[in-house]
Amino acid sequence: MSNTPTPHIGAKYGEIAPIVIMAGDPLRAKFMAERYLENPVLFNTVRNMFGYTGTYKGKPVSVMGHGMGIPSIAIYTYELYNFYGVKTIVRIGSAGAYHKDLKIGDLVLAMGACTDSNYAAQYELPGTFAPIADYGLLKKCVDTCEELGYRYMVGNVMSADIFYSDHPQADKWMKMGVLAVEMEAAALYMNAARSGNKAMALFTISDHILTGEETTAEERQTTFTKMMDVALSLV
């Protein structure tokens, strides 16, 4: 295609699989490619946002980083959906727990994604858009968690624009039953909806807003493998 490579992805059309599993940290994508994929081939190093295509149990799949925050994931997923023919994007990442029953290492499957971002304003909708996951992907994730015996919860997450907030308002989202906070899912779900494609986001709890528990950067990069197992069940 004449639109590829893009300004942010160095691959040619056809070098990226129809399903892409994405992580905020490009080193997590690298770890996943080396751990799970058969014959992974590096297709992107632009801005060190590593992307690999290989096979998993004989089926083509790509894994790639997407960076931090809605602007970053929005650019990469827009290009993947609209220029590379990608049909399904699955985000795996870490999240901070809001719900009292969540523990470090638990999985959260994002049925929907609230946000304080202005990303949806571009669509000029006459109301508020509710970004949601693809139901088929969500159901498969639930089935896999049940089969593997992984602890999980399903519900809303909060895709926050601000990490270091001058006025933290986690308590207000907690009152509405939001399970956890992260920074990207809402834009992924909106890009999927606008392009007529599929998306799913699932998270490992890395810290807890209520208890103050937290994990290290190295633990988040290399030990959060349960969500990778679940994501790969979608291939």
Q: Does 161 participate in catalysis according to the annotation?
A: no
Q: Are 148 and 229 in contact (CB under 8 A)?
A: yes
Return the structure tokens found at 140. Answer: 């498969």
- Give the Cβ contact number of residue 14 at 10 Å: 11
Write the burial class of residue 108 (CB in 10 Å: 0-12 exposed, 13-18 middle, 19+ buried): buried
Candidate list 25, 101, 171, 207, residue with the active-site label: 207
**Cα separation, 84 vs 107, whole angstroms:** 30
First vs last C-alpha separation in the chain: 25
Active-site residues, by number, are 207
